[in-house]
């Protein structure tokens, strides 16, 4: 879908929320708007554009530019329309002779301190100052040249007021010479992003935009490069480097970001098939016009030189790659898969779907396993992140998904954030939460680290419960005990929505002294008072919400933790109303979707068990083949079976299991033992080092499809450019399936979605037409909810009665001891994403060039480790080396790192412990020892060598 650029209408000031409607007359046009709306916005609603420079509907009105003045009958003078609220019966004139004179005078002043290099300016054609000069009919500037901020030199030498461009940020340039000091950037940084990195320094003629303090640059300041300032800048003062390089875009393709589970809507501003910039869509229902550094700027990987565009094969994983035709590669892959099945049985092969690919692509890959290979051996990377969410929420509430939409955060009175670091992992959601925190909502953080959310500027005091990794269940159960003991629960809610007797049994379980805050303090290190304070705050807030991340799920008790979270929400009645709920923050863009699409070995799309006869018969009818009623292998089981010689072939789409799965050595030996490993990816990732077939993948910019975000929102992904590898990923899967005897004839992903809607009740109403019309919908979307379901469990739980599960704390087997006295926990950083395959191939490296080990200064001192030293981290599984950062952000006894860089391979250290219910690996707790080091570990050297060898590519054979 291509549009000509019509910039999203800017109404000048944000929409007002009110039940009262006000009627007024603007330039003779009658208009009705909610009370509290500005005169400027009311005029815009009437289709009248009032000239403006400092106003934009991204931020609240400021009233500084004086260009938007109007005349209002019965009112003295010329009020600014942006700061004047409408009143009943108001009669507004936006164009009179007096106003025209004032506006011209104001524009003359602006232009007197602005370089008139419009023709060569990067914002030429996209500049509001230019537009306004035109709108007010500016024809001359009467001021003599004088003191100014733009000329490098004046008659007497260098101009002391001139400051050079700040090009420290890799993605945008700040040119103070073009600044009109409208403060839009400062206000966007504060109101939209919530970082407060910018300010106006000085006063009067000396006023300038400053990032951080005088000595700071944009890069050294608190700036997180979200792009909000660039987006609102009316001139070329803050502008994307790509626009400087390329020029203005000529059409827009609306699509969805392919990074985290927030699922931001973006407008891809294109010139031909080249992306000029990605701008967050104001009508995006997840992001409401905001973005983070990844989605906004870090898309250059899609055209990175490392990208492999040709299919390749090799006999053995020690051989160099041989570039071949698609036919050769697909034949080779199909023949080997079928041979493995002939030699070792139908169930000796399997597939891994990707949480980064579209729903349609995921659906096809699991269909390939079930309908073509004839096995339920399909799994997805959600196994290693949010599978406990699926299990836990399904058991307690009845659906494997979060309960609320992101808009709901605007109404919450208290947010309990557990095992998540939203400012880094889900930045756009974090900005929305921070906005609410600044408005006075409370914050409780349950996390081993003091995360940045706790340092939100202009927030009240947050409560931090710094627990020892692995003790989530103990602390949450203790919080529940306090709620029960102090009778803070919502009896009416429990009686109507859950089973009262079941609750009483759970209460009895909770009241056992072993769950008391004092006992749990001994286990978890969280002060008993903190547990009590958290319980009281959560239970007494009128609307309390829970947001959690992988710090909840990636534990041996991940599913139990999810259920204890659900219990808290149920016993306090925090479900079914905006501002409440239980909301997992999904790691990858389409984790929710890949789970929905039947990627798991025991479930068809829509979470229906493979042993369910009716569902199986439905798919047998639609797919026209008999299907197996036996659940297949989970990812860890595939590895175990491979090492036992019984699992011989794997088709892995868009996931780097070598880097992202725990206990790397176990994974690589399993892969090395297989006969056929097919990797489909943009890059020769770490897993491809163990592959026999490489099928080049396509980026999100090159295909049509849908992603489903953490709030169950199905968002459209639209093709902005031709796939550089020749095919969209679903086409590749279809070709592979057809080589193995299928007869698939999909010509467009919309046909795949039709099949999904036909066979999956919760998707029954979904179609591309609907998505085009509505922008996005949240499942369930069917006859009962034709436009989707923003809030779930409103009148009753999906499963009927909410189910209280007893949540006994069982300590993980992974315990610190004399040999491994520290607990390692892992996570993410803002500028990098997952295994880094994408973000490492962008300028985001300036923020995070390598993985760093965070260690408390006292632990470091005991070990003779200084800040910046190379250290060795060893566990029972393996060891690696990386640099240390001394910080009190982690408690003594805890160390922390990220897993973005393959040279570090943090997962060499992690163990194969996993969640009891879903096998989700225990990434978040590994007992380790840290010691000073001189260089890379033996594993790193060995792996580096293997990696180098296995990435050799021979050119295609001459014809």
Partner 1 sequence: MTTPAISADFSERLAAIIDIHKDREGPLLPILHDIQAEWGYIPEEAQPQIAAALGLTRAEVHGVVSFYHDFRDHPSGRHVLRLCLAEACQSVGADALADQVRAALGIDFHETTPDGRLTLEPVFCLGLCACGPSAQMGDRLLVRANLAKVQKLVAEAGA
Interface with partner 1 (CB under 8 A): 195-203, 210-216, 220-222, 457-459
* Furthest CA-CA distance within the chain: 91
Cα 176 to Cα 169: distance, rounded to the nearest angstrom: 14
d(CA 681, CA 657): 12
Q: Cβ distance 163 to 176 under 8 Å?
A: yes
Measured between alpha carbons, how far is 704 from 180 in angstroms, rounded to an integer? 41
Residue (158 or 460) nearer to partner 1, CB: 460
Residue with tokens 């164009």: 95
Beta strands in 732-857 (DSSP E): 776-778, 822-827, 852-855
CA distance 353 to 597: 10
149 contacts 235 by C-beta, under 8 angstroms: no
Nearest residue (CB) to partner 1, 54 versus 473? 54
Given the complex with partner 1, which of 198 and 381 has the nearer CB atom?
198
| 854 in Cβ contact with 303 (< 8 Å) | no
Least separation in angstroms between CB 188 and partner 1 = 13
Nearer to partner 1, 224 or 720 (CB): 224
- Minimum CB separation of residue 446 from partner 1 in Å reads 21
Token code pair at residue 792: 């779930």
Judged by beta carbon, residue 21 or residue 220, the one nearer partner 1 is 220
Residue among 317 and 886 whose Cβ is closer to partner 1:
886
Q: How far is the CB of 210 from partner 1 (least distance, A)?
A: 6
What is the end-to-end Cα distance of the chain in Å, rounded? 40
23 and 30 Cβ atoms separated by less than 8 Å:
yes
* Least distance in angstroms from the C-beta of 688 to partner 1: 39
| CB of residue 867 to partner 1, shortest distance in Å | 12
Q: Which is nearer to partner 1, 4 or 214 (CB)?
A: 214
Task: Compute the least distance from the CB of residue 197 to partner 1, in Å.
Answer: 6
Question: What are the C-alpha distances in Å from 286 to residues 189, 308, 385, 901, 928?
Answer: 19, 32, 21, 29, 39
Strands (E), 805-913: 822-827, 852-855, 870-874, 879-886, 894-898
CB neighbourhood size of 35 (10 A): 15
Among residues 131 and 222, whose Cβ is nearest to partner 1?
Answer: 222
Please tell me whether the peptide bond between 438 and the residue prior to it is cis, using omega within 30 degrees of 0: no
Cα 590 to Cα 201, 279, 571, 710, 733: the distances in Å are 43, 20, 31, 8, 18
User: What's the angle, vertex CA 734, arms to CA 733 and CA 737, rounded to 5?
Assistant: 85
Residue number with CB closer to partner 1 (199 or 903): 199
CB burial of 595-624 (b: ≥16 within 10 Å; e: otherwise) equals bbbbbbbbbbbbbbebeeeebbebbeeebe
- Tell which residue, 586, 554, 596, 591, has the closest CA to residue 384: 554
Q: How far is the CB of 830 from partner 1 (least distance, A)?
A: 16
CB of 202 to partner 1, least distance (A): 5
Alpha-carbon distance of 893 to 524, in angstroms, equals 12
- What is the rounded distance in angstroms from the CA atom of residue 649 to the CA atom of residue 638? 10
Q: Which of 216/843 has CB closer to partner 1?
A: 216
CB of residue 818 vs partner 1: minimum separation in angstroms? Answer: 35
Pick the closer one to partner 1 by CB: 220 or 325: 220
What's the min distance (Å) between Cβ of 455 and partner 1? Answer: 8
The nearest distance, CB 457 to partner 1, in angstroms, is 5
CB-wise, 200 or 485, nearer to partner 1? 200
Taking the complex as a whole, how short is the minimal distance between the CB of residue 59 and partner 1, in angstroms? 16
Q: 122 vs 228, which CB is nearer to partner 1?
A: 228
**Rg for the chain (alpha carbons), in Å?**
29
What's the Cα-to-Cα distance from 527 to each of 243, 533, 540, 584, rounded to whole Å? 53, 10, 20, 26
Map residue 533 onto helix, strand or coil.
Answer: helix
Neighbours of 244 (CB within 10 A): 16
Q: Which is nearer to partner 1, 217 or 767 (CB)?
A: 217
Least gap, CB of 891 to partner 1 (angstroms): 20
Kindly tell me which of 195 and 877 has the beta carbon lying closer to partner 1: 195
Q: How far is the CB of 216 from partner 1 (least distance, A)?
A: 7
Name which of 220 and 949 has its Cβ closer to partner 1.
Answer: 220
Dist CA 310 CA 324 (whole Å) = 7
State the nearest-atom distance from the C-beta of 223 to partner 1, in Å. Answer: 9
H/E stretch holding 110: helix 97-112
User: At its nearest, how many Å lie between partner 1 and the CB of residue 453?
Assistant: 13
Report the nearest approach of partner 1 to the CB of residue 871 (Å): 23
Distance CA 725, CA 876 (A): 42
64/303 with CB nearer partner 1: 64
User: What whole-number distance in Å separates Cα of residue 177 and Cα of residue 165?
Assistant: 8
Other beta carbons less than 10 A from residue 722's beta carbon: 12
């Amino acid at each position: 879908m291509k549009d000509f650029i019509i910039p999203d209408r800017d109404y000048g000031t944000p929409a007002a929320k009110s039940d009262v409607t006000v009627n007024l007359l603007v330039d003779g046009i009658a208009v009705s708007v909610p009370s509290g709306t500005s005169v400027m916005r009311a005029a815009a609603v009437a289709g009248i554009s009032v000239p403006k420079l400092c106003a934009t509907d991204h931020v609240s009105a400021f009233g500084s530019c004086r260009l938007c003045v109007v005349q209002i009958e019965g009112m003295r003078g010329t009020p600014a329309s942006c700061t004047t609220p409408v009143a009943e019966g108001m009669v507004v004139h936006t164009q009179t002779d007096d106003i025209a004179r004032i506006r011209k005078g104001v524009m003359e002043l602006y232009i007197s301190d602005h370089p008139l290099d419009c023709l060569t300016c990067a914002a030429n054609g996209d500049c509001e100052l230019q537009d306004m000069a035109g709108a007010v009919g500016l024809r001359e500037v009467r001021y003599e040249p004088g003191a100014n901020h733009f000329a490098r030199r004046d008659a007497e030498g260098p101009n002391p007021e001139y400051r050079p461009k700040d090009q420290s940020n890799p993605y945008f340039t700040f040119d103070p010479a073009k600044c009109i000091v409208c403060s839009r950037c400062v206000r966007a940084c504060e109101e939209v992003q919530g970082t407060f990195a910018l300010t106006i320094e000085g006063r009067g003629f000396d006023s300038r935009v400053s990032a951080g303090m005088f000595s700071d640059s944009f890069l050294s300041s608190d700036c997180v490069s979200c792009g909000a300032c660039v987006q609102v800048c009316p001139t070329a003062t803050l502008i994307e480097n790509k626009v400087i390089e390329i020029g203005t875009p000529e059409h827009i393709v609306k699509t969805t970001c392919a990074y985290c589970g927030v699922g931001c809507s973006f407008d891809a501003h294109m010139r031909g098939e080249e992306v000029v910039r990605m701008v967050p869509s104001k009508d995006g229902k997840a992001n409401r016009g905001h973005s983070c550094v990844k989605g906004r700027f870090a898309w250059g990987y899609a055209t990175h030189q490392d990208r492999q565009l040709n299919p390749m094969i090799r006999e053995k994983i020690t051989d160099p790659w041989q570039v071949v035709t698609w036919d050769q590669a697909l034949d080779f892959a199909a023949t080997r898969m079928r041979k493995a099945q002939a030699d070792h049985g139908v169930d000796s092969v399997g597939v891994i779907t990707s949480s980064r690919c579209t729903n349609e692509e995921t659906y096809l890959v699991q269909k390939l396993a079930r309908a073509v290979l004839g096995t339920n051996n399909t799994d997805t990377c959600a196994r290693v992140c949010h599978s406990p969410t699926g299990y836990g929420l399904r058991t307690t509430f009845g659906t494997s998904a979060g309960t609320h939409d992101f808009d709901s955060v605007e109404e919450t009175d208290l947010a309990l954030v557990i095992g998540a670091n939203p400012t880094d992992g889900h930045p756009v959601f974090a900005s929305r939460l921070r906005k609410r925190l600044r408005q006075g909502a409370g914050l409780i953080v349950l996390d081993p680290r003091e995360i940045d959310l706790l340092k939100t500027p202009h927030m009240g005091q947050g409560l931090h419960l710094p627990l020892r990794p692995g003790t989530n269940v103990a602390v949450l159960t203790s919080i529940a005990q306090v709620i029960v003991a102090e009778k803070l629960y919502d009896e009416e809610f429990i009686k109507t929505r859950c089973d009262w007797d079941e609750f009483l049994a759970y209460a009895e379980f909770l009241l056992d002294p072993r769950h008391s805050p004092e006992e749990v303090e001994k286990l978890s290190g969280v002060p008993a008072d903190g547990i009590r304070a958290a319980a009281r705050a959560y239970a007494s807030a009128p609307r309390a919400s829970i947001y959690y991340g992988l710090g909840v799920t990636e534990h041996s008790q991940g599913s139990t933790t999810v259920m204890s979270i659900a219990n808290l929400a149920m016993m306090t009645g925090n479900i079914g109303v905006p501002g409440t709920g239980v909301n997992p923050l999904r790691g990858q863009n389409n984790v929710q979707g890949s789970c929905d699409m039947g990627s798991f070995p025991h479930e068809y799309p829509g979470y229906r068990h493979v042993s369910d006869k009716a569902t199986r018969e439905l798919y047998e009818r639609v797919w026209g083949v008999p299907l197996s009623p036996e659940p297949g292998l989970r990812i860890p089981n595939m590895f175990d079976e491979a090492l036992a010689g019984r699992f011989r072939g794997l088709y892995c789409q868009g996931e780097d299991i070598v880097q992202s799965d725990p206990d790397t050595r176990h994974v690589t030996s399993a892969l090395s033992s297989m006969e056929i490993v097919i990797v489909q990816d943009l890059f020769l990732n770490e897993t491809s080092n163990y592959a026999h077939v490489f099928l080049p993948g396509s980026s999100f910019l090159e295909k049509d499809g849908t992603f489903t975000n953490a709030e169950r929102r199905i968002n459209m992904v639209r093709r902005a450019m031709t796939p550089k590898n020749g095919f969209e990923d679903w086409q590749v899967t279809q070709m592979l399936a057809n080589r193995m005897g299928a007869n698939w004839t999909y010509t467009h992903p919309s046909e795949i979605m039709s099949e999904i809607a036909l066979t999956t009740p919760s998707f029954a109403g979904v179609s591309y037409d609907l998505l085009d019309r509505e922008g996005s919908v949240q499942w369930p979307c069917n006859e009962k909810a034709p436009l989707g379901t923003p809030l779930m469990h409103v009148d009753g739980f999906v499963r009927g009665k909410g189910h209280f599960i007893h949540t006994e704390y069982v300590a993980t087997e992974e315990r610190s001891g004399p040999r491994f006295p520290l607990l390692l926990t892992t996570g993410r950083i803002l500028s990098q994403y997952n295994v880094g395959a994408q973000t490492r191939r962008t300028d985001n490296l300036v923020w995070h060039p390598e993985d760093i080990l965070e260690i408390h200064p006292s632990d470091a001192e005991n070990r003779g480790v200084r800040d910046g030293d190379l250290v060795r981290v060893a566990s029972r599984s393996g060891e690696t080396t990386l640099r240390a950062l001394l910080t009190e952000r982690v408690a003594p006894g805890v160390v922390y790192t990220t897993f973005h860089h393959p040279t570090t391979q943090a997962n060499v250290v992690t163990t194969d412990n996993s969640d009891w219910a879903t096998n989700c690996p225990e990434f978040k707790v590994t007992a380790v020892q840290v010691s000073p080091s001189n260089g890379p570990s033996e594993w790193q050297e060995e792996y580096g060598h293997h990696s180098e060898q296995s990435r050799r590519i021979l050119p295609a054979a001459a014809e």
